[in-house]
Amino acid sequence: MQEQIVEKMMSEVMAQLMQKQEESKAAPAEQPEAKACRMPEFVGTAIGDTMGLVIANVDSALLEAMNIDKRYRSIGIFGGRTGAGPQVMAADDAVKDTNTEIISIELPRDTKGGAGHGSLIIFGADDVSDARRAVEVALNNLEEKFGDVYGNPAGHLEFQYTARASFALNKAFGAPIGKAFGLIVGAPAVIGVMLADVALKAADVEVLGYASPAKGTSYSNEVILQICGDSGAVRQAILTARDVGIPLLESLGGPAPSSATPYI
Amino acid sequence: MQEQIVEKMMSEVMAQLMQKQEESKAAPAEQPEAKACRMPEFVGTAIGDTMGLVIANVDSALLEAMNIDKRYRSIGIFGGRTGAGPQVMAADDAVKDTNTEIISIELPRDTKGGAGHGSLIIFGADDVSDARRAVEVALNNLEEKFGDVYGNPAGHLEFQYTARASFALNKAFGAPIGKAFGLIVGAPAVIGVMLADVALKAADVEVLGYASPAKGTSYSNEVILQICGDSGAVRQAILTARDVGIPLLESLGGPAPSSATPYI
Amino acid sequence: MQEQIVEKMMSEVMAQLMQKQEESKAAPAEQPEAKACRMPEFVGTAIGDTMGLVIANVDSALLEAMNIDKRYRSIGIFGGRTGAGPQVMAADDAVKDTNTEIISIELPRDTKGGAGHGSLIIFGADDVSDARRAVEVALNNLEEKFGDVYGNPAGHLEFQYTARASFALNKAFGAPIGKAFGLIVGAPAVIGVMLADVALKAADVEVLGYASPAKGTSYSNEVILQICGDSGAVRQAILTARDVGIPLLESLGGPAPSSATPYI
């Protein structure tokens, strides 16, 4: 019953919000953002309670505690409460565009009571301006990567596609560098199993990985399929899964709109 | 403080809901349910954001990725955001009644911000009609299995009992096939420890398993006791734990009603 | 988007609560608390949906199932939905003041949809009065330990400090007995990485441990730094991290007040 209550709360409160929002459009500038912005380490924030920071000279004891072999002088820090795939995709763009490396990608069980992951991604660089640039690119590109994340109170679906995977996707999902890569996520996991089957039947793609609640996830309620292959085939597999996934998720929790603007 | 705020939100919003519900009883039929229903793979939905699906001819690459040895032609998929015990119990009824096997049971850390698990259960069958039948039985029996799930904003209690365990309970909890089995869950875990002690003192039962946040759960805030023995003794142990658990949970979070209709 | 919705819900509902609370100050005494209080095992409840219980003669089958070597006659049980650091700190006070030992400390992934942990701490004693006293001390001291927990809908920060660590801090974090110890937690984890760097640069302290979403936590969205050293240095490191952490968290989720009264 608990989830039905939460669902009802959600829609009830949302209805009231509509009204309120009309009334109070012009909120005053926030003080804390301003205060944080004055820190040289602060880069910015984005969708999914995501934040980007940069450290020019990382403390050597911290590097040791983090168990990082290579001694980077500067690191970029990028991650949020909601979303792993979108942040990894945005970080992938960032390593393509900058002189940085991916040090680590960790996926907490989060999404603030949702069914999925949050994220913590660390970039390494010899120069702080490179690290900062990587975090800026990731922050700027993040909203786009939420374009094919669809959600409602019952769960979420996520689809990611790139014609040319780079180091972040390689680190997180074993994607071959420079090849087309696709990610298909269904939550609750029951939907994800079906999307995996649909995707693999839709086109001639190769399975890179299959993660489920007990294996490969941080106990999230997701099934995650990672695929590679010919770019057209990968895209076809994803689009077919999306067509099947949305009505399934909507049958469980009502309308499941995109979190931003679909890009695939 | 956060949980107190959530608690207050809950009760506040609930009060308003009562009003609203009076007004709008006759909601129009939902489109997405209708659309999903037309898919041959869709079997149905149930309490706990639970869904049931069936795949007639599973893709062989998917079977391989799922690491399933035996090559089933058809699979049934059954699971939800909220609840593991109820879904396992319902699946246990399903394997008793149908020509299917339990391929896997996985327990995500979920319940939508609650203290417990969600579920992903996969049935294997040679014939799609068997797989579908298993999922139907599980969906139909699920609400009953939520009968002895009691919850409030502070946590939940779960009690399950069967006089004759089958393959799902064996797979998930090591229950001896054909013997009486009981499950006692307390969340937060502090309550579960006490219920385990009370149950074991109440009757001559055998401990099959004891799961706690760091061992045997997916880091849920639960202690889960699994018992077997004489059916009368198992039932007695459960009923005693229930009598102790409800006032304890209520002392923390207010009234803790059954999620459906108590069956034990 | 989901988290923005939750955030808005939060503030909207909170506003309405203000009104309601004015109206209904004098709630009637709760029945369930009274009923639970009559159990001899019930010790009390506290902030964070925390409960304290005591078992005079633990069932031997339970001790075995819990995998406890030493045969304590009595146990104290202490833990909650929200908070691990505060409960461990309060338990640390309790073992200092009583003739008990820490049997186990387990950290579920919880905080009711928040980014952190809950807790389950078990005290062992030969005499039930000792176990009860330990739980009482822990319950009484808990609110103080929430003093430097700061939160908003986007995450939380936690700071703990003691001039003299005891057995609970040793068990949970490897703190040297009798030495100054500090704990610095940032959630989402991205903030925690930065706080760790700031703290280590601020004073000459030693790193005891560094936990992140994939290592050392229960997949929480936190980075947790554990430090020891000269008491002045430990305190200085913590205070510097706090000064940096609060504006960062506030830039993500608005005002992040203390959960109680700051004590460091």
Q: CB-based contacts of C255: which residues, under 8 Å, 6+ apart?
A: A32, C152
Is C157 found in the same domain as C102? no
Q: For residue B193, which residues of chain C lie inside 8 Å, CB to CB? A: 53, 55, 75, 77, 120, 122
Could you tell me the maximum CA-CA distance found in chain A, to the nearest angstrom?
54
Summarize pLDDT for B149-188 with one digit per residue, the tens. Answer: 999 999 999 999 999 999 999 999 999 999 999 999 999 9
Spatial contact of B100 and B134, defined as CB atoms under 8 Å apart: yes
Say whether both C56 and C117 belong to one domain. yes
Same domain? For A112 and A157 the reply is no
Q: Using a CB-CB distance cutoff of 8 angstroms, which residues of chain C are in contact with residue A36?
A: 247-248, 250-251
Kindly report whether the peptide bond that precedes residue A176 is cis, defined as omega within 30 degrees of 0: no
Q: Is residue B20 part of a domain?
A: no
Residue A91 lies in a domain: yes
By C-alpha distance, the chain B residue nearest C45 is B252
Is C264 domain-assigned?
no
Which pLDDT belongs to residue B68? 85
pLDDT band at A212 (very low <50, low <70, confident <90, very high): very high
Backbone angles phi, psi at B44, to 5 degrees: 165, 180
Structure tokens at C46: 């506290």
Domain boundary among B125, B147, B169: B147
What's the pLDDT score for residue A31? 54
> Is C125 found in the same domain as C187?
no
Same domain, B74 and B160: no
Tokens of A156: 């979420």
CB pairs under 8 A between A and C: 169
Between β-strands A149-152 and A155-162, what pairing exists: parallel, antiparallel or unpaired?
Answer: antiparallel
Q: How far apart are CA C177 and CA B162, in angstroms?
A: 49
> Which residues, including other chains, have CB under 8 Å from residue A171's CB and lie 6 or more apart?
A102, A104, A105
Q: Are residues C45 and C101 in the same domain?
A: yes
pLDDT at residue C20, rounded to an integer: 41
What span, in angstroms and rounded, lies between the C-alpha atoms of B30 and B45? 13
A56's tokens: 């020019």
Q: What is the DSSP string of A130-180?
A: HHHHHHHHHHHHHHHHTTTEEEETTEEEEEEEESS--HHHHHHH-PPTTSE
Query: Does residue A27 lie in a domain region?
Result: no
CB nearest B2 (choices: C42, C109, C111):
C111
Q: Phi-psi category of B11—alpha, beta or left, where left has phi over 0 and alpha has psi -120 to 50?
A: alpha
Beta bridge partners of A46: A50
For residue A213, the chain B residue with the least C-alpha distance is B108
Least confident of A25-34, A206-215, A233-242: A25-34
Examine the pLDDT at B21 and tell me if it is beyond 50: no
pLDDT of residue C70: 75
Q: What average pLDDT values come out for chain C (264 residues) when binned by 10 residues?
A: 51 47 40 71 97 97 89 95 98 97 97 98 97 98 98 98 97 96 98 98 97 97 98 98 97 96 96
- pLDDT, tens digit, 9 for 90 and up, residues B200-235: 999 999 999 999 999 999 999 999 999 999 999 999
Query: Where does a domain end: A147, A178, A212?
Result: A147
Taking CB atoms and an 8 Å cutoff, what residues of chain A touch B50?
190
A175 and A191, same structural domain?
yes
CA distance C93 to C88: 9
Structural domain containing residue B45: 39-147
Residue B30's pLDDT band (boundaries 50, 70, 90)? very low
DSSP assignment of C145-183 equals HTTTEEEETTEEEEEEEESS--HHHHHHH-PPTTSEEEE
The residue with tokens 């319902």 is: B90
To the nearest whole number, what is the mean pLDDT of chain A?
90
Q: What ipTM is given for this predicted complex?
A: 0.87
Same domain, A214 and A143: no
Looking at the domain assignment, is residue A142 inside a domain?
yes
At C202, which CATH number? 3.30.70.1710
pLDDT number for residue C4: 54
Contact (CB<8Å) B219/A13: no
In a domain? residue C18 = no
Same domain, yes or no, for C240 and C140? no
Structural contact between residues B212 and C119, judged by C-beta atoms closer than 8 angstroms: no
Residue-level length of chain A: 264
Query: Does A155 contact B49 at a Cβ distance shorter than 8 Å?
Result: yes
Structure-token pair, residue C78: 């202490």
Phi and psi at B100, nearest 5°, equal -135, 165
CB neighbours of C161 closer than 8 A, spacing ≥ 6?
A: C148, C180, C181, C182, C183, C234, C235, C238, C264
pLDDT band with cut points at 50, 70 and 90 for residue A17: very low
The model's pLDDT over B78-132, given as tens digits with 9 standing for 90+, comes to 999 999 999 999 999 999 999 999 999 999 999 999 999 999 999 999 999 999 9
Question: Which chain B residue is nearest to residue A253, measuring alpha carbons?
Answer: B49
Would you say residue A226 lies in a domain? Answer: yes
Among the three residues B114, B131, B147, which one is the final residue of a domain in this structure?
A: B147
Shortest alpha-carbon distance between residue C209 and chain A (Å): 7
According to the per-residue pLDDT averaged within each range, which of B13-27, B133-147, C3-17, C63-77 is highest?
Answer: B133-147
Same domain (yes/no): C93, C134: yes
How many domains, in total, are found in chain C?
A: 2
Chain A hits for C201, CB-CB cut-off 8 Å, are 59
Q: Are residues B167 and B231 in the same domain?
A: yes
Does B61 map to a domain? Answer: yes
Residues A238 and A176 in one domain: yes
